[in-house]
Amino acid sequence: MIALFLAIVTALFFPGIIIRVKSIVSGRKGPGIFQPWKNIFVLLRKGSVFSRTTSFVFQMAPVIYLATLICAILLLPFPGMPSWFGFPADFILLAYLLALGKFFFIIGALDTGSSFEGMGANREALYSMLAEPAFFILFGTLAMLTGHLSMQSVFEHFHLSGYNSVVSGMIAVYVLIQIAMIENSRMPVDDPKTHLELTMIHEVMVLDNSGFDLALIQIGTNLKFALYGNLIANILIPLNLAIPYRIVLFFGIQAVFAASIGMMESFRARKKMMKNPQFIVTLSSIALVGFILSLLMMYQLIR
């Protein structure tokens, strides 16, 4: 439960830090850190408008999207503390809870009958499918290194103490950051600031959502960033620290994660649509290289 509480707290300032960093880098004053949540609270007080072409699928998609994210966060442990209901190979359930929410998000966009939203849904499904192997290869590598399958046991026995674990840890952090950017439709696969339907992914999928439903989608997006930040924190935070220090370090890692996204989006150009699949598949190649390196170094240690 502590992971969910910390994820909610993290989600309060995470999008604001990204916006503030981008504003400072570009030399603008920009909005405050809590401006994204002020916008969400405004949406929560508004009613939703539904097109006559949509069905109940469109109306329940935002709720299921948010619910699956909350359930996925409950699977995550806080460094040194157990998760709410972890079990062996729970990272598979984590991946498919996220996939279930993405599935309803996609069919909700398709339910509108809009060709633009269908185009965005097609890209969202393709990119998520291509990013999935990198996630499983990454956790397979960590499971092999630690000899455990549950996320709690994996993170408890994974220590950044030797050359092998440091290399694997840095690859894991890089891959998780890139997957988080892809899953949230950020640079370099998408630009959240653009409003050109032919090049949008996430933004074009929510064109028909409004009011309360749009607020749920935005809350879910913020929680998804916090989820990936939690995974990164579990890799980096040493367990020999006292709990208050671990909590402070947890928020510090999340702040650095948000600031790094702001910096990358400030100096990184969006890739051409035809280049995005190649870029995403490269993440699986990097994760596979990490797996092979870990396998070779483990073989040398055993010998």
The pLDDT score that the predictor gives to residue 231 is: 92
Rounded CA-CA distance 192/169 in Å is: 29
The pLDDT score that the predictor gives to residue 192 is: 73
Token look-up 């097609």 returns: 122
Rounded CA-CA distance 58/1 in Å is: 30
129: which 2 tokens?
């499918």
> First and final CA of the chain: distance in angstroms?
42
**In b/e form, how buried is each residue of 175-190, taking b as 16+ CB within 10 angstroms?**
bbbbbbbbbbbbbbbb
The pLDDT score that the predictor gives to residue 1 is: 67
166: which 2 tokens?
């440091």
The pLDDT score that the predictor gives to residue 103 is: 92
The pLDDT score that the predictor gives to residue 158 is: 83
Cβ-based neighbours of 192, under 8 Å, separated by 6 or more: 185, 186, 202, 203
Rounded CA-CA distance 234/239 in Å is: 9
Note the pLDDT tens digit of each residue in 226-237: 999 999 998 988
Note the pLDDT tens digit of each residue in 238-289: 888 888 888 899 999 999 999 998 888 888 777 787 888 888 889 899 899 8
The pLDDT score that the predictor gives to residue 117 is: 83
The pLDDT score that the predictor gives to residue 65 is: 92
Token look-up 């707290």 returns: 9
**DSSP line for the chain:** -HHHHHHHHHHHHHHHHHHHHHHHHTT-----TTHHHHHHHHHHTSPP---TT--HHHHHHHHHHHHHHHHHHHHPPPTTS--SS--TTHHHHHHHHHHHHHHHHHHHHHTT--HHHHHHHHHHHHHHHHHHHHHHHHHHHHHHHHT--SHHHHHHH--TTSHHHHHHHHHHHHHHHHHHHHHTT-TTT--TT---TTT-SHHHHTTT--HHHHHHHHHHHHHHHHHHHHHHHHHHS-TTS-HHHHHHHHHHHHHHHHHHHHHHHHH-PPPPGGGHHHHHHHHHHHHHHHHHHHHHHHHHHH-
Parts of the chain with a pLDDT under 70: 1, 162-164, 194-199, 299-303
